Amino acid sequence: MKIKIKTVQVTDIDKLVEISRQTFVDTFGMQNTAADLKRYLANHFNEIKLKKELANPDSQFYFAESGSRVVGYLKINVAAAQTEPDYPHALEIQRIYVVEEYQQLGVGQQLLDWAIKKAVQLKKTAVWLGVWEHNLLAQQFYLQAGFLRTQKHIFTLGNSVQSDWIMTKILEE
């Protein structure tokens, strides 16, 4: 599907809160308690927190747009904005989500290509991300794009402690 990729501005905050919450619930709603989810959304996807993330010069958010509809989004981090300190010369894909009814149409692939292009432009050595150990569909998507599972780390959703795989794609010189 043909999309436009647009840098998210602070004036887009309402749309960003909405798509962040919607895609998170669609992805993780089934596997988590309502209380855990509610607490997670309130803590992570509120206007103040997302505005602060948008203001960080080492983070960028992008919308995938089809016409005027936001059908997906991407958040990338470099330098100290990364959520792990172990990859100083890499770029992190912290969030990549496509709205359910637009999945399997190539939108995620275009967002992933965009992140990799940014990493190359910034002369980063690798692109990495954390993915929930039970999110096998997403892992499959990254594997076919050349990412490898490199290590595990711990992720907390509300009261439950879960494991993420770190997946890494080394970039060519």
Residue 127 found at the interface with ligand COA (CB under 6 A): no
Q: Work out how close the CB of 150 gets to ligand COA at its nearest, in angstroms, rounded to a whole number.
A: 15
87 carries an active-site annotation: no
Site for ligand COA, residues 42 to 61, rule: CB under 6 A:
none
Distance CA 3, CA 92 (A): 22
Distance CA 46, CA 54 (A): 12
- C-beta closer to ligand COA: residue 10 or 100: 100
- Only one of the segments 3-11, 39-47, 53-61, 97-105 lies at the binding site for ligand COA (rule: CB under 6 A); that segment is 97-105
- Distances in whole angstroms, Cα of residue 161 to Cα of each of 31, 33, 39, 152: 13, 13, 14, 13
Residue 144 found at the interface with ligand COA (CB under 6 A): yes
- C-beta closer to ligand COA: residue 10 or 104: 104
Distance CA 8, CA 56 (A): 12
Residue 77 found at the interface with ligand COA (CB under 6 A): no
Kindly report the number of other CB atoms within 10 A of residue 115's CB atom.
21
Distance CA 124, CA 122 (A): 6
Are the C-beta atoms of 17 and 46 separated by less than 8 Å?
yes
- Only one of the segments 11-19, 81-89, 99-107, 113-121 lies at the binding site for ligand COA (rule: CB under 6 A); that segment is 99-107
Which positions touch ligand COA (CB under 6 A)?
27, 96-98, 103-109, 131, 135, 138, 140-141, 144
